[in-house]
Chain A
């Protein structure tokens, strides 16, 4: 199947790319890895007049681990994240999310920025990034703004980005001592799948064996965007971690989740709700084990 006709642009710098998106606005689509975009174009779901490629821009491909903050360029490929020992050591759930994405070949092309900007509710990168409290740098010709990932998604395929903006960087704070995170994605098969449900959880403890100081639970596939399980999070705060506590957090997340399901969708609402509970408990347990230094 052939692609619709379009003009292809390959700017050398972020500034140049910003000028292009400013000029073409919503007639343009940004090509970061192309693993979603090309499918949409081949299926003629979208027919942009301009495709602006950005993975050749060097400044978008850096991983910078400053004290207290990890900065990942938007065009860092998912396979680089998966393979990074530094990221794996402190942000293990992010690597887990990366490993769950597509196949090895897809991960070699797909970029972390693309996985966020395409705003698919089943995507693998948003839950761990939200759980770690990531924020995003959006640039245009007049400057940049920093948005919390919590506030980034507006609907399926829709974000707060304006047509003249480019996502350039993902900033992830370094998790404090005695914290941990876990990611679990549920699909039908073991590779190249589209998630039925995915959950990432993060908790920080008030010292070893202490109470939960902060918590973030992020669910995919239950709403048009990734959502936090706020009731479950607040239920954890100030409590000593236990199996029973995680079970009630799972219950709370399940009660708050309102997934849609039909005969035609990947799973029923009932199953998804039950899995919200199951995966919340599992990822909280993973997070707790990491916080206690119990994971390898």
Chain B
């Protein structure tokens, strides 16, 4: 039995009914009187000088209300990190990728807006473009941004310990590489917004964003408005996964058009524009060298990585740091060297996606650890357990494992999957593989340098005392955070979940950095808990005054006042309460326990509005080296996974049969939601491992910009999943809770890589593992084996590559 009344259960989501019945309001459901429709003119060229923009024909088209270019928008630079603000709302000197933004139109309907866009005449001088890391970094390559020589957005050179010295003491040194493909996060709801500038000079923006707070600040900065005049409201959002964690041209253009026209302006990306806007997972080229002792002790890691970043920085400077820093754990690694380069190319910008920066690095390394285990003759699980950190350990790059249920995760997936009975004993074509992973529970620092609180929460009791209104600016984007915070608030106040009404996603409710880096459960959660406790304290203070009972002798649980010692006579209070509610049918009977509702009504009568406040910001964390901020977190979630699969060796097609997944989320606020995040992570990891790849033609145009040719995991591709929740009780989290949203994706790809090797005896070093890649790897392996045999024995081999 749990010690809690509300959390750590399987509560139904507070938004479930509205979403299932189609009542939930998403941004495109919102309409306003006199609303205009906006459309963007986007570059058809990957790289070109802008010579002239002629908007006159577009402006003359009936129904067109405004046409804006950089002349109206100005040239304020923005982006994600202030260290790399390199975008303007509209291009003015040149275009840097197909889909780069040149102008926007507002008109009375969408067709007119689109027609007007087609009437804008742009003269370009086409420039040579670079699409690959090699092209971009080559001597004499065209520079996308004058300020960044060799097209390097950011480079990282870190060494912790002494890798070269450690390698000298190693018995085995292994080098391998891994490359993935650019991803699209493939959220179901394309970005959309509605901006409304009123005649008092207030700008209200409804947007399908993950980060209302950052959006508010960027809009204010780019358009020159006081922050207090900009209100961002996030309705329900159909998924984000990272690319919606920054301001976009769409939102800024809609704001500008609304300010120019004095009317509400709606804008949406279509699916093609989602691909052209990008901002999802980078393409990473990892090469890693790991040195170990004979007994499996990991001594050192040398790691080099290049990221194909696209035309703008977006999150890239953080991504390139994460790609290195997140390998600090969960294994004891005394020496680590990392060289990372994030490179501009004439493609849509890449940014952050679930498991930001760490996913492919983790996959590369966890595959390499399996290769090492095999050479050492160790079971891969034994190797991992031997090197595992434990709670209280600090990594060589100063990440503090304040809680770490990693060993418990590994043991759980080992035992529940039947690993010992299966590993090394499966027939050819069938394989089993495992991996570990870990991730931050929120970034230790905001994206802009600031001492701001990362989250503030206000709870207000209704005057009748029956309902607690929770106001948080956090972002429910489908992950279930509204339910999580309603549960935390209810638990902290000691009242049932039904008595909590929560509003979120509105910058008027306070500051919250939003839904990214798996931060909300821990950070918004702590602020919510503090606000709830503040409410409880205030109500009990009034009761203490009225009943002359010391506050420490009382508590609130399940909506009733608990008197720890002698129960006082509260009949006078009750009589007062009932008198105020004459004619009401739900008044308490005289023999009932004193309810929270009565107590909080009395509190209102005594003090006016009862408002509880909560706030959170992490303490100073991490090391002092350059870039130390990236990877620091008040807590780390961790996970382990076992994948069982079969490979059709005749076609190369992989069929994932079972995934056993354990995740340490500290404490599950809502067990169903935790499992939902685990399953979602596996689905996304499976898609990235097997199917997903954004393809471009030789002009930098996306070839597969729809969900028919960009293939994400569908229901029929999902295997049986066994999710196992591990609870290590994080000391820095609310009630012990920490992340699950992103960490759970970490082991998915490497566990599949390792299982594929177990099935076919061939290592794959490039994603996705579509049938052709696997088949060709098997074919090449057999050809080489045959050659080797022919030269040694003159005999032809047969059967599976595995044996």
Contacts and interface: CB of A to CB of B under 8 A. Distances in A.
Given A190-B717, A268-B772, A271-B772, A2 B711 contact: no
A282 interface: yes
Interface in B328-354: none
B81 to A, nearest CB: 34
A186 B653 contact: yes
Nearest to B770: A188
A282 B650 contact: yes
A196 interface: yes
Contacts of A1: 270
A278 interface: yes
A274 B711 contact: no
Contact of A278 (B651, B708, B711): B651
A196 B653 CA distance: 12
A264 B715 CA distance: 27
Nearest to B656: A190
Contacts of B9: none
Interface string B698-725: 0000010000110101111100000000
B716 A188 contact: no
Given A186-B651, A186-B771, A267-B772, A194 B690 contact: no
Contacts of B714: 103, 189-192
B110 interface: yes
B717 A189 contact: yes
A178 to B, nearest CB: 27
Contacts of B697: 264
Nearest to A1: B270
A274 B771 CA distance: 12
A270 B770 CA distance: 15
A188 B771 contact: yes
Contact of A264 (B270, B650, B651, B695): B695
Contact of B651 (A103, A191, A193, A275): A275
Given A1-B270, A274-B779, A189 B690 contact: yes
Interface in A1-54: 1-2
Nearest to B712: A189
Interface in B258-274: 270
B111 interface: yes
B775 interface: yes
B563 interface: no
A188 B111 contact: no
Contacts of A271: 772, 775-776
B650 to A, nearest CB: 5
B703 A2 contact: no
A188 B651 contact: no
Nearest to B271: A1
B712 to A, nearest CB: 9
A167 B468 CA distance: 65
B453 interface: no
A167 B714 CA distance: 33
Contacts of A282: 650
Contacts of B187: none
Contact of A194 (B111, B703, B708): B708
A259 B315 CA distance: 42
B715 A188 contact: no
Interface in A187-209: 188-194, 196
A194 B779 CA distance: 24
B70 interface: no
B691 interface: yes
A267 B703 CA distance: 14
B270 A188 contact: no
B703 A196 contact: no
A196 B717 contact: no
Given A268-B772, A278-B650, A188 B711 contact: yes
Most B C-beta atoms less than 10 A away, residue of A2, A103, A191, A271:
A271
A2 B653 contact: no
A37 B161 CA distance: 62
Contact of A191 (B270, B695, B717, B772): B717
Interface residues of B, number: 26
A82 to B, nearest CB: 15
Nearest to A281: B650
A270 B703 CA distance: 22
Contacts of B703: 264
If over half of A's interface residues share one DSSP class (helix, strand or loop), that class is named, otherwise mixed; here it is loop
A1 B650 CA distance: 41
B131 to A, nearest CB: 12
A186 B776 CA distance: 15
Contact of B716 (A2, A190, A194, A275): A190
Given A196-B772, A264-B697, A264-B703, A191 B650 contact: no
A255 B717 CA distance: 33
A84 B262 CA distance: 60
Interface string B511-528: 000000000000000000
A270 B779 CA distance: 11
A268 B771 CA distance: 11
Nearest to A193: B711
A118 B649 CA distance: 33
A279 B771 CA distance: 14
Contact of B713 (A189, A196, A278): A189
Contacts of B716: 189-191
A24 to B, nearest CB: 24
A274 B779 CA distance: 10
Nearest to B697: A264
Contacts of B708: 192, 194
A270 B783 CA distance: 15
Contact of A274 (B653, B655, B695, B775): B775
Contacts of B779: 274
Nearest to B687: A189
A268 B775 CA distance: 12
Contacts of A103: 714
A44 B270 CA distance: 14
A1 B703 CA distance: 19
A188 B691 contact: yes
Interface in B743-782: 770-772, 775-776, 779
B690 A188 contact: yes
B715 A191 contact: yes
B254 to A, nearest CB: 18
A94 to B, nearest CB: 21
A109 to B, nearest CB: 15
Contacts of A279: 651
A267 B270 CA distance: 28
B709 A194 contact: yes
A190 B270 CA distance: 26
B651 A2 contact: no
B290 to A, nearest CB: 32
A188 B711 CA distance: 8
A129 B287 CA distance: 50
Contacts of B270: 1
Interface string A265-296: 00110110011001100100000000000000
Contacts of B111: 2
B557 to A, nearest CB: 49
A270 to B, nearest CB: 8
B636 to A, nearest CB: 33
Contacts of A192: 708, 714
Nearest 10 Cβ contacts at the A-B interface: A191-B716, A190-B716, A271-B772, A278-B650, A191-B714, A190-B717, A189-B717, A267-B772, A188-B770, A1-B270
Given A2-B110, A186-B651, A188-B691, 8 more contacts: A188-B711, A189-B717, A191-B714, A196-B771, A196-B772, A267-B772, A278-B650, A282-B650
Interface of B: 110-111, 270, 650-651, 653, 655, 690-691, 695, 697, 703, 708-709, 711, 713-717, 770-772, 775-776, 779
Interface of A: 1-2, 103, 186, 188-194, 196, 264, 267-268, 270-271, 274-275, 278-279, 282
12 contacts: A103-B714, A188-B690, A188-B770, A189-B711, A190-B716, A191-B714, A192-B708, A193-B711, A194-B708, A264-B703, A267-B772, A274-B779
